[in-house]
């Protein structure tokens, strides 16, 4: 018996990285998965892989910074599979031109906040009512360890956007706790994904991250997917409003509790 049997999960950024790994894992645990991504080929490939393995999936092209697109993907989940129980607001960007406050342009700031923060807001705006209509469930918002500490390589827009995700998660968790909707922030450490490797595009930048990680390695998308599965399942039934940190020990080494 799968840990998500009978559930419908909507995952944004499902074409690659954490999103793809989570879509495949959630489907293997019994969920019907809506694979949303701005890149049509990649989200269709993820859905095809799920169906080839005997699972249920559909692909939808969606720009998470668009209210109309996000509303549409939630309605597709309900129309196709009859409801929504798990919403994984995972889509995000880390732009190579994101630097310190002096270097980062307004355009990069707006682009990053539009996808990373507004995208989570819109997902929750449309997804939480659908989850309530289905009798309750789980919202997982991808934040980052940099929401809890400064980044060694400057990325002010990204860091600010992920801090917004953590704060938004806390408030939504409190607001919706009595309606059967749990809301948690997944805070990955540095990962060996295409997103981060494009940003850490020199060996020097990679080493500046690795030196701070007690485990001495980058994490894997599959490890984040397993953490997301825990938050999606009933195994985390008393967890809401949390910063679920999966970071190889980096925040334990550097963050001092208040």
Q: Known catalytic residues? A: 158
Exposure string (b/e) for 158-193, b if CB count within 10 Å is 16 or more? bbbbbbbbbebbbebbeebeeeebbbbbbbbbbbeb
| 137 within 8 A of 184, measured Cβ to Cβ | no
CA distance 4 to 226: 13
CA distance 215 to 205: 18
The Cα-based distances of 10 to 60, 84, 86, 109, 244 in angstroms read 10, 7, 6, 27, 19
In terms of Cα–Cα distance, which of 58, 52, 67, 56 is closest to 14? 58
| 19 within 8 A of 12, measured Cβ to Cβ | yes
In terms of Cα–Cα distance, which of 104, 165, 175 is closest to 140? 165
**What are the φ and ψ backbone dihedral angles of 129, each rounded to 5 degrees?**
-60, -35
154 burial type by CB count under 10 A (0-12 exposed, 13-18 middle, 19+ buried): middle
- Which secondary structure element, helix H or strand E, spans residue 58, and what is its range? strand 56-61
């Amino acid at each position: 018996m799968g840990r998500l049997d009978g559930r419908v999960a909507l995952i944004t950024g499902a074409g690659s990285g954490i999103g793809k790994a989570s879509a495949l894992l959630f489907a293997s645990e019994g969920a019907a998965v809506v694979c949303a991504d701005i890149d049509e080929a990649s989200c269709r490939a993820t859905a095809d892989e799920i169906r080839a393995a005997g699972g249920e999936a559909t692909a939808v092209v969606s720009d998470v910074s668009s209210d109309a697109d996000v509303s549409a993907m939630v309605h597709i989940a309900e129309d196709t599979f009859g409801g929504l129980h798990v919403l994984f607001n995972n889509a995000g960007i880390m732009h190579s031109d994101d630097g310190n406050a002096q270097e980062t342009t307004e355009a990069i700031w707006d682009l990053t906040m539009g996808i990373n923060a507004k995208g989570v807001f819109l997902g929750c705006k449309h997804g939480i009512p659908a989850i309530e209509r289905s009798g309750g469930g789980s919202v997982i918002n991808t934040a980052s360890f940099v929401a809890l500490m400064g980044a060694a390589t400057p990325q002010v827009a990204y860091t600010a956007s992920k801090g917004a995700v953590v704060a938004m998660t806390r408030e939504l968790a409190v607001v919706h706790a009595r309606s059967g909707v749990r809301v948690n922030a997944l805070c990955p450490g540095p990962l060996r994904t295409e997103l981060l490797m494009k940003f850490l595009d020199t060996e020097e930048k990679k080493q500046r991250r690795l030196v701070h990680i007690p485990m001495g390695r980058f994490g894997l998308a599959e490890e984040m997917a397993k953490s997301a599965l825990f938050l999606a399942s009933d195994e985390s039934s008393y967890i809401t409003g949390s910063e679920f940190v999966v970071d190889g020990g980096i925040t334990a080494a550097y963050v001092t509790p208040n």
